[in-house]
Structure 1
Amino acid sequence: MLKILNAGYRLRELLLLITVGLVPVISGLLVMIVQLEMKLSENAAISVQEAVFSIDQALNRMHEAAQRALPLAGKPCEKVKGILQDQVVSRSVLRSLTLVDDSEAYCSSASDSLEYLSSFALSGQQVELSHGQPDSRPKLLVNFYLQGKGVGVIVTAYAIQLRNELDGFQDGLTLLLEFDDRYIWSNGDSRDAQRPSQSEFLAHAFSARYGYRVKGGYAQGFTAQEIRQSMLQILPSLVLVGIVTGSIVYLALLRARAHGRKSAAARA
């Protein structure tokens, strides 16, 4: 009977030591997970705001190019086409400049479809993502329209400059830039079969100046992957803390047991 009681007592001690040792491990992992999720959420919210700032700067450069060409709008094409071409050459981000008179495109520095650009001028949009002209090989372009008094300028640039701005955020976050129903992101655009996954910690930001939207989020499973990686890094330290904590409690139990024996012997 005494052996059974001693075995039960030692089993309770063992369970106590295991529990005490697991407390710092489990609590440490929970704190790590909460901190990681807060970090990812905060990073998504900040990154979309920073992306709006970066994209605005890129569009500001197109706006400056349009302002530079605006005084030429309304003048005969044969007199200003060479100037337009020189302005395009001087800015590597530009593909073409097109002059507009009374909402009709009439002079371009390149062989762009004037009918296609006229429809953009009539659309009321300031900026659009374009898949290229119907009669040319599909290329993702950005059209920017600056309207003056009865005249205007359309600046056309390759959308890769916007993609380069998005590529600056290399931290696992997927940023997607939307212009109405068209979008672009680091590895594709709205011509793809489906949108990229952004299901985790999705955040939004809107450009008040140019009317586009930036969405930022992590792909499905990204958080779990980050937790696993962080767990592998922190788990050895937590286990060590658990072992030390359990050892301290075990020594305390031994002292308490020895003290109990001495007290029992003294009473005897």
Structure 2
Amino acid sequence: MALSRLAGRSLLEFLITLLIGLAPVACGLLVLALQVERKQEETAAVSAAEAIYAIDLVIDTLHSTSNAVLGLAGQRCEQVLPALRQAALRQPSVRSLILIRDNRGYCGTVLGNFDAAFDPGSYFNQRLRLDLQNQITPDMPVLHYRLQEHPVGVIATSDARTLQLELQGFQNGIVLALQFGSDFLWANGSGSVAQVPNYEEDKQRQVSDKYGYVVHAGYPDGHTRQVLRQAIHSTAPLLLLVGILTSAVAYWSLFRQQRQPAP
């Protein structure tokens, strides 16, 4: 009986010591998981804000160029076409400029003198339209910016590649997607919401105060687990060392001194 009682007591001491040692390890892993989650949320929010800043600058260029040639709208195309083309050439991000009169395009830097109807209702916020399939470059979407002072106006276009290059500058596996109405553009593609790459983890949504388009940011499924696994691999030795030291101190304090004979 004495041996079994001693064995049972030793097992109990071992289990208590083990649980005490595991406590800092478990707490450390929990804190690490919370830190990873919080860090990714902050990174997604900051990335969305930085993307808005970068895309706003591109659209600012379209606006300033359109505003500079707005005075040409309404005049004969033959007279203003050279100046219109010079204005477009001065801005690398501007692919073309079109003059509008009574909601009809009549003069463009690419087409010259032409006639085509333009529907203001097709523009998001009456100003922006992401054209996913245009006739001139069917494989490359373009962004249209509309500046209107009725009855005349200007439409400036920019290759979507310009916007995609801005999105490609973001690292750490984050997915960024621009939304113009029902159309989306991301770093290496464009299309509907169903085609946007997965970004379900730590999702963020921010709206441009200037132009009203939306930036979605997030991480694909499994990204948090991968980052957490890498963080655990780097911190596990330290956590285990803390657990072992905690167990040793707890054993000495709780049990070792109890076994010492009284003087």
Could you state the TM-score of these two structures normalised by the residue count of structure 2? Answer: 0.91
Structure 1 or 2, whichever has the larger Rg, is 1
Q: Is the CA contact (8 Å cut-off) linking 2:177 and 2:196 kept in structure 1? A: no
Could you tell me how far apart the structure 1 residues matched to 2:75 and 2:104 are?
13
* Unpaired stretches in structure 1, ≥5 consecutive residues: none
Q: Is the CA contact (8 Å cut-off) linking 2:40 and 2:202 kept in structure 1? A: yes
Structure 1 residue 23 corresponds to structure 2 residue 23: yes
1:121–1:115 CA distance, 2 compared to 1 (3 A): farther
Could you tell me how far apart the structure 2 residues matched to 1:49 and 1:136 are?
30
Structure 1 residue 6 corresponds to structure 2 residue 6: yes
Could you tell me how far apart the structure 1 residues matched to 2:133 and 2:158 are?
11
Deviation per CA, 1:201-242: give whole Å up to 9, x if none.
211111233121111111111111111111111111000101
Could you tell me how far apart the structure 2 residues matched to 1:23 and 1:122 are?
62
Q: Is the CA contact (8 Å cut-off) linking 2:134 and 2:142 kept in structure 1? A: no
Structure 1 residue 250 corresponds to structure 2 residue 251: yes
Could you tell me how far apart the structure 1 residues matched to 2:88 and 2:71 are?
15
Could you tell me how far apart the structure 2 residues matched to 1:166 and 1:136 are?
21
Aligned CA-pair RMSD: 2.1
Q: Is the CA contact (8 Å cut-off) linking 2:77 and 2:113 kept in structure 1? A: no
Partner letter of residue 119 of structure 1? F
Could you tell me how far apart the structure 1 residues matched to 2:210 and 2:224 are?
33
Q: Is the CA contact (8 Å cut-off) linking 2:182 and 2:193 kept in structure 1? A: no
**Deviation at 1:47?**
2.5
| Matches for 1:185-224 after TM superposition, within 5 Å | 185-190=186-191, 194-224=195-225
The residue aligned with 2:76 is 76
Could you tell me how far apart the structure 1 residues matched to 2:14 and 2:85 are?
84
Q: Is the CA contact (8 Å cut-off) linking 2:132 and 2:191 kept in structure 1? A: no
Could you tell me how far apart the structure 2 residues matched to 1:141 and 1:114 are?
20
The residue aligned with 2:56 is 56
**Deviation at 1:191?**
6.6
Identity %: 35
Deviation per CA, 1:136-188: give whole Å up to 9, x if none.
53321011111124211110110122112222321322111000111111121
Partner letter of residue 43 of structure 1? T
The residue aligned with 1:168 is 169
Task: State the SS of the aligned residue for 2:118.
Answer: helix
Deviation per CA, 1:103-123: give whole Å up to 9, x if none.
11000011389566x324564
